[in-house]
Chains A and B, each alone.
Chain A
């Protein structure tokens, strides 16, 4: 409890300046146990706020099983489950280790991760490699095909990527995102342009690598290949804004498939959580919202940093999610200006006269106006391993922000 009440507006300006000034570069690809400090063999990182096995949803459980099979700690699904239930596996949110992962977001010690370094602070953030669409670990799939693809990615593609990134002298992700926003991406659900820019930047440096053809084909076929570095870049920015005394800026939004959780710059490492909702969306053939898992993944870090649904005005091509008219895309972004503190210095929106994207979610505004942030998201099947079944819009429960506001008031004496 502090006696002198902080100047919240000033604290928020400080937080936003730090967030938008961060300039994360993709500098290498390395195994998680080497890149991320203090990563013991029995630890698995996962998306969202902290959660233990009994409360984990289908896709997260599937990804945990898959990771244990991939690590060779279990040979069958049953063995993996038994291992977890014996207490031999520790779980921790990616967010606690400077990492983010889409969907289940499970990162095990030998999985390769993208490493981003912020030029300003030296802060390093991490994300795993993107597996593309279809049956993938991040949606809880763990059949032999899934594991084979993971091995290829980690053993063949990752070293080639690492070399290419070094050879390219690293990659400025903030600049890449800025360009992608002008090419119709919003950086969360639509990463087609960004993935092509990513491929374009690395292709010359990959061309000579062993298995280059396969690698280039894989990266080129995956419109999400840049999502993970983008998320790690956003994580770097959000973390730069975290820990400012007296700031009401939201610096984490993440879901684990059971709970939605947020953290606030001026409230330390405390998570505020509430049950995650099922997204409102459009479904792939053969699926309906009855099949959908509650919201999952760390990809909401994009909205936290001012893109994703907040930059919907940049991506009219995917406006079908929210009403179908290009003006609906603009209106979605206009709404997010209401609950944010600033317009981004580096990320601009042509459709709005090159205004900066809305950045810096202010807890106070969310509660006052009762407007929860918009989130564009993929939708996971509730059963492990089925994969992505749709995409849509979700909003975190208002209760999260209300809890956090009350905690802020108690902490700072309001």
Chain B
């Protein structure tokens, strides 16, 4: 049976030619249809149909405004069936939400879709991660860098760039952050609250955040750092910025600082920054905390749980955030501002002249938080031994136990006989490299009848002589005793104060005084990170692992994905050229 041609005309039915081509394709693919033509019946289109042998009976009447549908079919039935489908095929619409499903392929594309995004979350393979992070920084965006295997040199370069621009790089290898209530990477859903967390430990942050939530408290900002930020090489770039940020953040009333024990030099820097926040800071150096329970505004916790508990308690007991609950027995405070600026502070080393051996031990351990090296005739912890303690105190900070054997041979213990200590005090005070003298004064039965009466004039003269020589010398005394002691605590303290000494009654406070007077200062970053970078609601661009994007969406966070692929399809030569071009562009 020869093929048959069937024609249908719809008068006055206009459709764009591409719609008609699609219809024709659909008709031609129906069973029993050999070919189809669907056109507006213009002369040019008739010509086309004629050329394909599709111009048959019934087409004559159709004019340019009419739709002409022609099928060549194996049978009448298939032709009729096909023509019957025209209406439904014409009315067929691709289903669409009306929303753009476009997934940007580049960071720039995503930033066009979500210009308000201040954070870029990066989880591409490590060898590409630094490049993406540089791109984000160059566009003024902060970086949450989940990727690992980023070189140390890249990490430092990224963080230097970030700091210079008032931006933050969290990571590499940063597992978690909670910023403006938005969880990045791995994060728990915790109530927003007054506790800011800075953590070089992802799961530590999660543990403390969850615990705070359980305690009815919450998190203002949770800032993960990645494992290497507090290394000697990186030196705590991001930690310093994070502490400065939380110090300024009005939502943050108390700060928790979590890290594996950093190197001494980094510890000193970080704690100086923590001190500068003027907010209570709960510190947990996992497994290795200083033998102090507090230091100025810092409070040391022995575990993650205790860190959370202390932070929650600090806020609950002290809603205005003065931090007082962390200082139940405040030392004689320095006048506000005193000791904080370089001009007002003494310079040089401290020298401790102790009668009590255990006190000399504990003060060394405490001072080691912020000072390194420390020399001693009775070294403990990281202190170094003195070559000849009887002749001198060595080249730096020193703590002497004057009750040790080498000093007491042929004489009474210094708690009874002050003579040796007085001579040593004069010698140390005359040393122009000394800025602070630390003393202990142990009262009670058996001790000297009026040690302050003996020490006081010496202290007063030492301070005066140094002043006359153009130096500032400070003296701080740890007084151990009670008002029931024969010497009377209050009288002794009053005598020392009159002489110009500062007084502490626990080792924590003596360390605190030393730290205030001689400890490292922190400088605020040259370019302050704006607080609104972490303000809710956060908008985030996700480059890499898809589930992180899904997590953002399921938290209701404005997010844009980047459908990232290796540059130049992984072609090393082309990618190398592109890198060199970019290096020139950003140079």
B62 to chain A: closest CB distance in Å? 14
| Residues B44 and A132 in contact, CB atoms below 8 Å apart | yes
Q: Which of A282, A321, A324, A334 contacts B102 (CB 8 A)?
A: A334
B146 to chain A: closest CB distance in Å? 22
| Residues B568 and A368 in contact, CB atoms below 8 Å apart | yes
**Alpha-carbon distance A368/B39, docked complex (angstroms):** 42
A144 to chain B: closest CB distance in Å? 15
| Residues A285 and B35 in contact, CB atoms below 8 Å apart | yes
Residues of B within 8 A of A387 (CB): 48
Residues of B within 8 A of A386 (CB): 51
**Alpha-carbon distance A326/B96, docked complex (angstroms):** 8
Q: A7-B585, A338-B109, A370-B569 are in contact. Are A286 and B51 (CB under 8 A)?
A: yes
Residues of A within 8 A of B99 (CB): 327
> Chain A: which residue is nearest B586 at the CB level?
A9
| Residues A134 and B100 in contact, CB atoms below 8 Å apart | no
| Residues B70 and A338 in contact, CB atoms below 8 Å apart | no
Q: A330-B102, A334-B102, A338-B104 are in contact. Are A325 and B96 (CB under 8 A)?
A: yes
Q: Does B53 have its Cβ within 8 Å of any Cβ on chain A?
A: yes
**Alpha-carbon distance A337/B571, docked complex (angstroms):** 23
Q: Which of A286, A323, A330 contacts B94 (CB 8 A)?
A: A323
| Residues A286 and B584 in contact, CB atoms below 8 Å apart | no
Q: Does A390 have its Cβ within 8 Å of any Cβ on chain B?
A: yes
Q: Which of B52, B102, B569 contacts A285 (CB 8 A)?
A: B52
B282 to chain A: closest CB distance in Å? 46
Q: Does A207 have its Cβ within 8 Å of any Cβ on chain B?
A: no
Q: Does A320 have its Cβ within 8 Å of any Cβ on chain B?
A: yes
| Interface size grouping (class) on chain B | 35 or more
Q: Which of A320, A327, A369, A406 contacts B96 (CB 8 A)?
A: A327
* Complex interface bits, B8-30 against A, C-beta within 8 A gives 1, otherwise 0: 00000000111101101100000
> Chain B: which residue is nearest A322 at the CB level?
B18
| Residues B584 and A285 in contact, CB atoms below 8 Å apart | no
| Residues B105 and A369 in contact, CB atoms below 8 Å apart | yes
Residues of A within 8 A of B523 (CB): none
* Complex interface bits, A226-254 against B, C-beta within 8 A gives 1, otherwise 0: 00000000000000000000001000000
Q: Does A384 have its Cβ within 8 Å of any Cβ on chain B?
A: no
| Residues B97 and A370 in contact, CB atoms below 8 Å apart | no
**Alpha-carbon distance A132/B100, docked complex (angstroms):** 35
> Chain B: which residue is nearest A401 at the CB level?
B574
Q: Does A383 have its Cβ within 8 Å of any Cβ on chain B?
A: no
Query: In the complex, which residues 31-89 of chain A have their Cβ closer than 8 Å to any Cβ of chain B?
Result: none
**Alpha-carbon distance A337/B106, docked complex (angstroms):** 10
| Residues B105 and A338 in contact, CB atoms below 8 Å apart | yes
Q: Does A318 have its Cβ within 8 Å of any Cβ on chain B?
A: yes
Residues of B within 8 A of A369 (CB): 105-106, 565, 567
Q: A5-B584, A338-B108 are in contact. Are A409 and B48 (CB under 8 A)?
A: no
> Chain B: which residue is nearest A10 at the CB level?
B585
Q: Does B112 have its Cβ within 8 Å of any Cβ on chain A?
A: yes
Residues of B within 8 A of A132 (CB): 44
| Residues B565 and A285 in contact, CB atoms below 8 Å apart | no
Query: In the complex, which residues 54-103 of chain B have their Cβ closer than 8 Å to any Cβ of chain A?
Result: 54, 70, 93-102
Q: Does A143 have its Cβ within 8 Å of any Cβ on chain B?
A: no
* Complex interface bits, A244-288 against B, C-beta within 8 A gives 1, otherwise 0: 000010000000000000000000000000000000001111110
**Alpha-carbon distance A283/B16, docked complex (angstroms):** 14
Among A7, A132, A133, A286, find the residue whose CB has the most chain B CB atoms closer than 10 A. A286
**Alpha-carbon distance A286/B25, docked complex (angstroms):** 10
Q: Which of B117-125, B147-155, B575-583 interfaces with chain A?
A: B575-583
| Residues A367 and B584 in contact, CB atoms below 8 Å apart | no
Residues of A within 8 A of B51 (CB): 286, 386
Residues of A within 8 A of B96 (CB): 325-328
Residues of B within 8 A of A408 (CB): 577
Query: In the complex, which residues 142-194 of chain B have their Cβ closer than 8 Å to any Cβ of chain A?
Result: none
Residues of A within 8 A of B581 (CB): 8, 248, 364, 409, 414
A-B contact count (CB 8 A): 137
| Residues B48 and A284 in contact, CB atoms below 8 Å apart | yes
Residues of B within 8 A of A331 (CB): 100-102
> Chain B: which residue is nearest A334 at the CB level?
B102
Residues of A within 8 A of B70 (CB): 285
| Residues A320 and B98 in contact, CB atoms below 8 Å apart | no
Q: Which of B22, B94, B105, B574 contacts A402 (CB 8 A)?
A: B574
Q: A338-B109, A414-B581 are in contact. Are A327 and B98 (CB under 8 A)?
A: yes
A360 to chain B: closest CB distance in Å? 13
| Residues A405 and B25 in contact, CB atoms below 8 Å apart | no
> Chain A: which residue is nearest B564 at the CB level?
A369
**Alpha-carbon distance A124/B396, docked complex (angstroms):** 82
Q: Does A135 have its Cβ within 8 Å of any Cβ on chain B?
A: yes
**Alpha-carbon distance A160/B384, docked complex (angstroms):** 103
| Residues B18 and A318 in contact, CB atoms below 8 Å apart | yes
| Residues B574 and A405 in contact, CB atoms below 8 Å apart | yes
Residues of A within 8 A of B49 (CB): 285-286
Residues of A within 8 A of B575 (CB): 368
| Residues A287 and B567 in contact, CB atoms below 8 Å apart | no
**Alpha-carbon distance A338/B112, docked complex (angstroms):** 9
| Residues A317 and B38 in contact, CB atoms below 8 Å apart | no
Q: Which of A9, A134, A368, A391 contacts B567 (CB 8 A)?
A: A368
* Complex interface bits, B29-43 against A, C-beta within 8 A gives 1, otherwise 0: 000000111110010
| Residues A320 and B577 in contact, CB atoms below 8 Å apart | no
Q: Does B338 have its Cβ within 8 Å of any Cβ on chain A?
A: no
| Residues A134 and B574 in contact, CB atoms below 8 Å apart | no
> Chain A: which residue is nearest B42 at the CB level?
A221
**Alpha-carbon distance A132/B54, docked complex (angstroms):** 22
Residues of A within 8 A of B569 (CB): 370
Closest 5 CB pairs of A and B: A286-B52, A285-B37, A282-B21, A324-B94, A325-B96
Chosen A-B contacts, 26 in total, with CB atoms closer than 8 Å, are A9-B585, A134-B44, A135-B47, A221-B42, A282-B18, A285-B37, A285-B39, A285-B48, A285-B49, A286-B37, A286-B52, A286-B54, A317-B16, A320-B19, A324-B93, A325-B95, A327-B97, A328-B96, A334-B102, A334-B104, A367-B568, A367-B578, A368-B575, A369-B105, A408-B577, A409-B580
Known: A282-B25, A325-B95, A370-B565. 20 other contacts (CB 8 A): A8-B585, A283-B21, A284-B21, A284-B48, A285-B24, A285-B39, A285-B49, A285-B52, A286-B49, A286-B52, A320-B19, A320-B21, A324-B22, A327-B96, A334-B113, A369-B565, A402-B571, A402-B574, A405-B578, A406-B574
